[in-house]
Amino acid sequence: MTSSPLPVKMFALDEDDLAVVSAHVQDAVAKVADIRWSPADGHFAIPMNRFAWELTADRKTRRKGDQRRRAVLSFARVTRAQVTGIAPGAQDAVLSVLAVLFTATDAPAGVVTVVCSGDVMIRLEVECIEAQLADMGGAWSASMRPKHVVGR
């Protein structure tokens, strides 16, 4: 199995950085019950199983060597968090991350939106972009490679 020599650990402090983080978490899956929001310290964290897209770039054969890795996407300096598209009490629901976007409101403040499939959105009002993505352990073989069909 092909593997990255080091786990991913990256920080995002602006929109360009956040776009790189977004690419790394595309198709990650997260359980609603695992998401943590601490209003007292302004910290929001999403533990996830991310698809390691960075390992597929040099490979022509599909699936062989594809991996998922346990990771945490976290945000600091969050003043408000809101989730839409999830029924109250749906703690067992699984989210599939599509993208992480930023919209400035009163720069450097703005809104980070974690867009998930099924019209689920996590909206974080932030003082500024201060995000971290860190792999937390070993990798395992992915049973399938995510596939996106344009126009559906």
Domain ranges across the chain:
9-138
With a pLDDT cut of 70, the percent of the chain lying above it is: 88
Choice between 5 and 91, residue whose per-residue pLDDT is larger: 91
Who's near 128: CB < 8 A, 6+ residues apart? 13, 77, 108, 109, 110
Residue count of the chain, please give it.
Answer: 152
For residue range 18-41, what is the model confidence (pLDDT) as tens digits? 999 999 999 999 999 999 999 999
Residues 23, 12: Cα–Cα separation, whole Å: 12
Choice between 124 and 2, residue whose per-residue pLDDT is larger: 124
* Per-residue confidence (pLDDT) for residue 72, from 0 to 100: 98
| Beta pairing partners, 78 | 126
- 62 — pLDDT class (breaks 50, 70, 90): low
Residues 78, 55: Cα–Cα separation, whole Å: 31
Name the DSSP class of 33.
G
* Per-residue confidence (pLDDT) for residue 18, from 0 to 100: 98
The rounded radius of gyration (Å) of the Cα atoms in the chain is 16
Tell me the pTM: 0.88
Coil, strand or helix at 49: strand
Spatial CA neighbour of 28 closest among 129, 102, 100: 100
* Per-residue confidence (pLDDT) for residue 61, from 0 to 100: 56
Who's near 141: CB < 8 A, 6+ residues apart? 1, 66, 67, 68
Cβ pair 11, 132 in contact under 8 A = yes
Cβ pair 22, 111 in contact under 8 A = no
